[in-house]
Amino acid sequence: MLYADYNGSAPLLASVKNHLHKRIDSNLYGNPNALHSMGQRLHSGIEKCREMIAKDIGAYPDQIYFNSGSSEGVSHILGSVLMNSDKRIIITSPIEHVVVPTTLAFYEKKFGYQIIETKISNDGIVDLEDLKALLNKYKDQVALVCIMAANNETGVIQPYKEIADISHQFGVDYFCDTTQLVGKGEFNFEASGIDYAVCSGHKIGALPGSGFIIAREPTKLSPYIFGSTQEMGLRGGTQNYIGIETLAIAIRDFTENKSKLKDLEQARIEFENHVKREVPKVVIIGEGAPRLAGTTLIGLPGVHGQAVLIELESHNIFVTTSAACSDNQPETSVVLKSMGIEDQLGRSVVRISMSYQQGRTEYAYLAEKLVQTYNKLYRIQSY
């Protein structure tokens, strides 16, 4: 089997599996907020995980708050900022993961916020001059800048450090959806300048239902799930302590192996070049922009992306179209439309997303089967 949908969800890392096998037999369980010794051991374990993650991502432990993942984190951050602001404009981009515009639409409808999108290039990069112009135009009316770090469909990495600098020049906080960057690419929270960031465990080989927020100034956060004193009173409910343990292990695994990203990127480039030689019509979306090491969004003109997905699965290869959460929608995604991609090309795309644990062997096999698949489907389509 060749799994190539890491941007959708990653399989459990071997290091995480090993931990879980031992953990299940450990008989250490209970409520980490209890005063008895088992509870205190669990609580101590959570704090150790917080320290490990903080060290690996360049943050302080008290800037990290555990939760169920990025969807919750987005709602928590936006709720904290927007419900405590008298400003009514949010600057975002047209390429955000669906959770961001969906959440912003709620605040727009319910509380009268105005959502303004920046321009982007055809490669899917935010126009920094347009961002400056918008911040200058609306000055003291902007509550938040909300622009992602790396796109889940194209893999294009935004100039998030520059976005942070520009936002701060105008006295505006910057929330950056880092779901596709943390644990997948080089990232240091302190150096980034970002004010709020998020992480989902299932994107990096940890257990689903685990994640965290990173907040530069935690005092600006308000409680989201109400309860007792868990997570410094900002996120009620008994902590998912086993999920948290797997988060720390996954982040550490990436930290120890991130040198492999260069080999992964080179293997991806060789794969793309091979496919372009064999099928000159193909288009690599965002090819001219910096991208995640293992992400390729490839347009296959003349065939349908869903048909390619199904055919590849017959070879035990698992990919998606533009995004796993929209595989059942046979339309060009909002992200691609905003990049000026026409429907004929947009409906033909397939997203391939690999891990630092993979490389040339996997890409070579995928290239062979993708070219075969394209040629087969194109002949059928041409009849």
Q: Do residues 215 and 67 make contact, with C-beta atoms less than 8 angstroms apart?
A: no
pLDDT of residue 27: 87
Residue range 163-211, pLDDT digits in tens: 999 999 999 999 999 999 999 999 999 999 999 999 999 999 999 999 9
| Structural domains of the chain, ranges and CATH numbers in brackets | 2-10+259-382 (3.90.1150.10), 14-256 (3.40.640.10)
Distance from the first to the final alpha carbon of the chain: 32
Q: pTM above 0.75?
A: yes
The residues of the chain scoring below 50 in pLDDT are 327, 383
Helix (H, G, I), strand (E, B) or coil at 175: strand
pLDDT of residue 381: 72
Q: Do residues 294 and 354 make contact, with C-beta atoms less than 8 angstroms apart?
A: yes
pLDDT of residue 249: 98
| Residue with token string 């397939």 | 350
Q: Tell me the H-state helices in the chain.
A: 14-24, 37-57, 70-82, 99-111, 128-138, 160-169, 189-192, 241-257, 261-278, 305-313, 334-338, 343-346, 360-382
Please state, in angstroms and as integers, the Cα–Cα distance from residue 76 to each residue in 145, 222, 226, following that order.
Answer: 15, 8, 12
Beta bridge partners of 197: 176, 214
Residue range 298-355, pLDDT digits in tens: 999 999 999 999 999 999 999 999 755 554 556 789 999 999 999 999 999 999 999 9
pLDDT of residue 328: 53
pLDDT of residue 331: 75
pLDDT of residue 65: 98
pLDDT of residue 36: 95
pLDDT of residue 330: 61
Backbone dihedral angles phi then psi of residue 176, each to the nearest 5 degrees: -120, 120
Backbone dihedral angles phi then psi of residue 211, each to the nearest 5 degrees: 180, -175
Q: How far is residue 331's CA from residue 325's CA, in Å, rounded to a whole number?
A: 13
| Residue 96 identity | E
| Residue with token string 């990436």 | 254
Close Cβ partners of 95 (under 8 Å, ≥ 6 residues apart): 120, 124, 126, 148, 151, 154, 156, 335, 338, 339
Q: Which residues of 100-109 are buried (b: 16+ CB within 10 A; e: fewer)?
A: bbebbeebee
Q: How far is residue 320's CA from residue 94's CA, in Å, rounded to a whole number?
A: 21
Secondary structure element (H or E) that encloses residue 142, with its range = strand 142-146
